């Protein structure tokens, strides 16, 4: 509990520094992230050819499953890169609010591709087990790129258990498919308006409460996801006789403040004169 409170206080302090201009806004794609992304793709290309060579030389279903994983890793990396490129190059006349949701859509699409591709390998492995159509193994230990694939292929070749290879392939693909489908299920609620984390709500409330002394109350706040980031709707209560200019000069800067927070995509601040929950 105390660790969570200390972490929340740290976020409060960072928000204050950000809003006061002491620290610059975080770059959505810093240079180091681009370098890491290119490095990741390059390593996946190398790994793809290594696994392809291993799969051809061994004929092992376990090794083929690691090749499929490498191929899908490369494909998903390219899909995510394309999504991020499209987000960055959005035509704001055609897409007034940008295309930030493409990132979440890309993650779900990658998860579906990875899951289906591994299910195909699982079905092929089960077919080999049922019909006994298992290719003999003659693999080299230095070719394998997956520990499960190594164990399965080793047992199949050394101890003459012909089902070790397809069983190993099923195990490898099942783990991959399960992880990616679970990853997709985590992101689907983000597209359907799931409520944001309590910590994020607390940070937004604090900004609203400390923004201006003329804000008497905060009627209600809604913080929900519309993709990777969240939408904020806040109703603030002020004196009913305040001029429109003053209410605007209070609410609009508050919107701009909230929009600076890293997890916020867009915020709307509505002015009211009564705390009626409407």
pLDDT digits (tens, 9 = 90+) for 116-156: 877 777 777 777 666 654 443 333 333 333 444 445 555 55
Q: Please report which residue ranges of 132-275 form alpha helices under DSSP H.
A: 147-158, 164-191, 198-211, 244-259
| pLDDT for the residue numbered 165 | 64
| 272 φ, ψ (degrees, to nearest 5) | -140, 165
Phi-psi region of 59 (alpha: psi -120 to 50; beta: other; left: phi over 0): left
Look up the pTM and report it: 0.63
The residue that leads in pLDDT, 101 or 59, is 101
Q: Tell me what the mean pLDDT of segment 157-163 comes to.
A: 54
List the structure tokens of 201.
Answer: 């709500």
Q: Which two tokens stand for residue 74?
A: 């490369």
- Judged on CB neighbours under 10 Å (0-12, 13-18, 19+), 249 is middle
Instruction: Average the pLDDT over each of 2-16, 64-78, 158-172, 191-205 and give the range with the smallest value.
Output: 158-172
Domain ranges of the chain: 2-190, 198-272
Contact 185, 75 (CB under 8 A): no
**Which tokens hold the place of 140?**
């080299």
Mean pLDDT of 197-203: 90
Domain 198-272 has CATH 3.30.460.10: no
pLDDT band at 238 (very low <50, low <70, confident <90, very high): very high
Res 141: pLDDT = 30
Signed CA dihedral, 136, 138, 141, 142: sign only: negative
**pLDDT recorded at residue 226:** 81
Map tokens 């985590």 to a residue: 186
Percentage of the chain with pLDDT > 70? 76
Q: Cα separation of 63 and 72, whole Å?
A: 14
pLDDT of the residue at 187? 78
């Amino acid at each position: 509990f105390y660790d969570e409170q200390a972490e929340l206080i740290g976020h409060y302090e960072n928000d204050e520094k950000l809003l006061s201009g002491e620290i610059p806004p975080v770059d959505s794609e810093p240079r180091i992230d681009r370098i890491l992304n290119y490095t990741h793709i390059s390593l996946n290309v190398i790994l793809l050819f290594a696994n392809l060579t291993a799969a051809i030389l061994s004929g092992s279903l376990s090794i083929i499953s690691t090749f499929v994983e490498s191929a899908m890793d490369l494909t998903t990396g390219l899909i995510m890169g394309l999504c991020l490129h499209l987000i960055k190059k959005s035509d704001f006349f055609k897409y007034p609010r940008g295309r930030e949701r493409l990132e979440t859509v890309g993650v779900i699409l990658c998860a579906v591709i990875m899951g289906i591709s591994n299910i195909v390998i699982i079905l092929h492995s089960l077919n080999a087990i049922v019909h006994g159509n298992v290719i003999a193994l003659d693999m080299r230990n230095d070719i394998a790129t997956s520990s499960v694939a190594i164990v399965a292929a080793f047992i199949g070749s050394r101890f003459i258990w012909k089902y070790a290879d397809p069983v190993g392939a099923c195990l490898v693909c099942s783990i991959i498919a399960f992880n990616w489908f679970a990853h997709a299920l985590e992101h689907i609620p983000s597209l359907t308006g799931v409520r944001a984390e309590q910590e994020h709500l607390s940070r937004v409330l604090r900004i609203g409460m400390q923004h201006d002394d003329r804000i008497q109350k905060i009627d209600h706040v809604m913080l929900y996801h519309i993709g990777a980031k969240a939408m904020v709707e806040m109703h603030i209560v002020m004196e009913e006789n305040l001029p429109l200019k003053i209410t605007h000069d209070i609410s609009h800067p508050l919107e701009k403040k909230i929009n600076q927070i890293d997890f916020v995509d867009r915020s709307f601040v509505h002015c009211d004169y009564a705390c009626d929950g409407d």
